[in-house]
Amino acid sequence: MTDAQDALFRTLADPTRRGLFERLCREGEKTVGALTAQAGVSQPVVSKHLGILKQAGLVRDRHEGRQTHYSAQLGALSPLIDWTSQMAGFWQSRFDDLEDLLKRMDP
Amino acid sequence: MTHPAAETRSVIVEREIAYPAEKIWRALTQPLLIEEWLMKNDFKPVEGHKFKLRRDSQADIGVIVDCEILSVKPNRTLSYKWSAYGVETIVTFTITPTTAGTHLRVEQSGFQSDQRRAYNGARASWPQFLAALEKLLARVN
């Protein structure tokens, strides 16, 4: 595993951090306050995790007045994600299940 | 079906299967059978029919794919739109009888390689990525 992958996996291994990152992926840019409201941990803890995500390049922050807005940087996942290989793997395993089904079906 | 490599990306998976085309066609087009190898669904082999594929994954993320049938040629080809997480692709199954059985090919095409689509592609991959991550983490340490 490369250093870049290693750092990403370590950063995303923590369930709270993964949860924060996932929300930013699904819902777009959010303030620390908005993230804290649903994170189940205190604002300093959320800020600490956001700092680690930022270090890994997974989020970007943007200051506006007294608010800091965070957004997901999906490009940072590119060492781990290649769409075509993901989908190829998906269809390979679906075809495994299809063949298994064909064995069990009436002729 | 060909696509300019610079504009779209395709996934092609092919397999030789030791069963006749008719039987594979049933597995591709009957809802209870589709559920056994792909996902839960309200599929009907009718052009224009819209349906959903759903999977409740082991992680906390469910997968829903919005589909629309584009083409149905019994025992030969089946094609539908496959839209998930804002990524719209087309999935085409092609069935070809061979001397030993049947050649089954799936092509998922239409994924744009520009930046916006790459962004959506990452979103599309996210549930699989999470599952893969969890598996990896279970093996490490």
Indicate the residue of B9, B15, B27 with minimum beta-carbon distance to A83.
B9
Higher per-residue confidence, A15 vs A86: A15
Chain A CB within 8 Å of residue B32 CB = no
Structure tokens at A54: 């930022």
Q: Are A42 and A36 in contact (CB under 8 A)?
A: yes
pLDDT of residue B128: 57
Residues of B in contact with A13 (CB under 8 A): 133, 137
- CB–CB contact A75 B122 (8 Å): yes
Indicate the residue of A77, A88, A101 with minimum beta-carbon distance to B122.
A77
Find tokens 């059985």 and name the residue: B101
Find tokens 């085309």 and name the residue: B21
Name the band, by pLDDT with cuts 50, 70 and 90, for residue A10: confident
CA B70 to chain centre: 14
Indicate the residue of A13, A81, A101 with minimum beta-carbon distance to B125.
A81
Chain A CB within 8 Å of residue B90 CB = no
Mean pLDDT of the region A39-61:
93
C-alpha–C-alpha distance, residues B23 and B17, integer Å: 11
Q: Are B98 and B77 in contact (CB under 8 A)?
A: no
Q: Are A12 and B133 in contact (CB under 8 A)?
A: yes
Higher per-residue confidence, A74 vs A88: A88
List the pLDDT tens digit at each of the 141 positions of chain B: 443 444 566 788 899 999 999 999 999 999 999 999 998 999 999 999 999 998 775 444 457 889 999 999 999 999 999 987 666 789 999 999 999 899 999 998 875 545 455 455 555 555 555 555 445 444 443
CA distance A101 to chain B (A): 7
Q: Residue A25: in which H helix or E strand, if any? A: helix A15-27
Find tokens 């969890």 and name the residue: B134
pLDDT of residue A80: 62
Indicate the residue of B24, B27, B123 with minimum beta-carbon distance to A74.
B123
CA distance B49 to chain A (A): 23
Choose, out of B3, B11, B85, B141, the residue to mutate when testing the contact with A (most A CBs < 10 Å): B11
Higher per-residue confidence, A88 vs B132: A88
Residues of B in contact with A5 (CB under 8 A): none
Q: Are A86 and B7 in contact (CB under 8 A)?
A: no
**Which candidate, B12, B11, B56, B49, places its Cα nearest to that of B31?**
B49
Find tokens 């790459």 and name the residue: B118
SS (H, E, C) B20-88: CHHHHHHHHHCHHHHHHHCCEECCCCCCCCEEEEEEECCCCCEEEEEEEEEEEECCCEEEEEEEECCEE
Residues of B in contact with A99 (CB under 8 A): 15, 17
One-letter amino acid at A43 equals Q
